[in-house]
Amino acid sequence: MVCFVTSTTASRPVGELLRQWRERRRMSQMDLAIQADVSTRHLSFVETGRSKPSRDMILRLAEELELPLRERNHLLLSGGFAPVYAETPLNSPQMSSVREALGQVLSGHEPYPAVVVDQRWNLVDRNAATGVLLRGVAPELLVPPVNVLRLSLHPRGMAQRIINLGEWRAHLLHRLRRQISLTADPALASLWRELDEYPCDQPEPEIERPGPGDIVIPLRLRRGYRELAFFSTMATFGTPLDITVAELAIEAYFPANPETAAYLQHQHHPD
């Protein structure tokens, strides 16, 4: 059984939260104090509640702990300060440049599939080429909000067509576990438990090992009599100061062999 330590920030002292995050990052008080340029004694007083940290100190410690922007706001609130990071709806006018950038990446990646997801793997946008991944998926799994990981591993989703389901499932669950350890997001922990209950009739490797000729873990999909093979990359915005932007990611799929590339090109330009 896998247990997760998740974030429960409501009504908790800021010092306690800082200590929890420091321990989650496996940092000693001395390590964090040196990196944040504060004395170990002062940091100890902050963590035990004997000293109240300033707004700037909270932000400095959060930066050194590499906390998500959402959690930095939670720390500020616990310390008695107003949040500093906005969470602007993606459809708002001030996000037009972000939407345009996402659209350019998605359309520019054609004829290969690409999706935009939020921190909890909910689908934000996709290009037309993702249709090749979604064929045969149960309609109810495509009703918004669509969760990409659920879509991938649900027995009525893509899982029924994934040839190397055990390997791909183990990869996705391992990636999700890493994300939970970084964010302590209880919603992600709940999602992991749901996905872990889905059936799989293939062995799931505990350690990712390459097969013959593999340089990345491939997604192998059955398409009629064909086998399509993909690998993916993840991209995020480099310097986000808004929670919405910080939690967006683009997963772009590339053909892992010439046959898959030719098939996708033909689907895009059938003539």
Convert the pLDDT of each residue in 193-215 to its tens digit.
Answer: 999 999 998 877 766 665 655 56
Burial code (b: 16+ CB inside 10 Å, e: under 16) for 199-229 equals: ebeeeeeeeeeeeeeeeebbbbbeeeeeebb
Domains identified in the chain, total number: 2
CB 170 within 8 A of CB 204: yes
Nearest one of 156, 196, 152, 157 to 174, comparing CA atoms: 196
For the cut 50, the answer to whether the pLDDT of residue 1 exceeds it is: no
pTM (predicted TM-score)? 0.89
* Predicted local distance difference test score (pLDDT) of residue 209: 62
Domain co-membership, 116 together with 248:
yes
Examine residue 257 and state whether it is found in any structural domain, yes or no.
Answer: yes
* Predicted local distance difference test score (pLDDT) of residue 224: 85
Average pLDDT over residues 211-220: 74
* Predicted local distance difference test score (pLDDT) of residue 205: 72
Examine residue 112 and state whether it is found in any structural domain, yes or no.
Answer: yes
pLDDT per residue as tens digits for the range 108-134: 999 999 999 999 999 999 999 999 999
Domain co-membership, 247 together with 155:
yes
* Predicted local distance difference test score (pLDDT) of residue 213: 55
The CA distance from 234 to 196, in Å, is 23
Domain co-membership, 40 together with 164:
no
Quick one: what percent of the chain has pLDDT higher than 90? 85
For the cut 80, the answer to whether the pLDDT of residue 139 exceeds it is: yes
Handedness of CA 230, 233, 234, 236 (dihedral sign): negative
For the cut 70, the answer to whether the pLDDT of residue 2 exceeds it is: no
* Predicted local distance difference test score (pLDDT) of residue 216: 76
For the cut 50, the answer to whether the pLDDT of residue 3 exceeds it is: no
Examine residue 8 and state whether it is found in any structural domain, yes or no.
Answer: no
Examine residue 87 and state whether it is found in any structural domain, yes or no.
Answer: no
Domain co-membership, 123 together with 236:
yes
Average pLDDT over residues 240-261: 97
Average pLDDT over residues 100-106: 98
The CA distance from 221 to 161, in Å, is 6
Examine residue 186 and state whether it is found in any structural domain, yes or no.
Answer: yes
End residue of a domain, out of 78, 112, 128: 78
At residue 268 the predicted structure's pLDDT band, cuts being 50, 70 and 90, is: confident
The torsion angles phi and psi of 7, rounded to 5 degrees, stand at -85, 130
SS3 for 54?
A: coil
* Predicted local distance difference test score (pLDDT) of residue 129: 96
SS3 for 227?
A: strand
pLDDT per residue as tens digits for the range 230-239: 999 999 999 9
Domain co-membership, 107 together with 73:
no
Q: Domain range spanning residue 73?
A: 14-78
Examine residue 229 and state whether it is found in any structural domain, yes or no.
Answer: yes
* Predicted local distance difference test score (pLDDT) of residue 214: 58
The CA distance from 207 to 210, in Å, is 10
Domain co-membership, 204 together with 243:
yes
pLDDT per residue as tens digits for the range 19-68: 999 999 999 999 999 999 999 999 999 999 999 999 999 999 999 999 99
The CA distance from 51 to 46, in Å, is 5
For the cut 50, the answer to whether the pLDDT of residue 92 exceeds it is: yes
Which helix (H) or strand (E) is 223 found in, with range?
strand 219-223
* Predicted local distance difference test score (pLDDT) of residue 28: 96
* Predicted local distance difference test score (pLDDT) of residue 241: 95
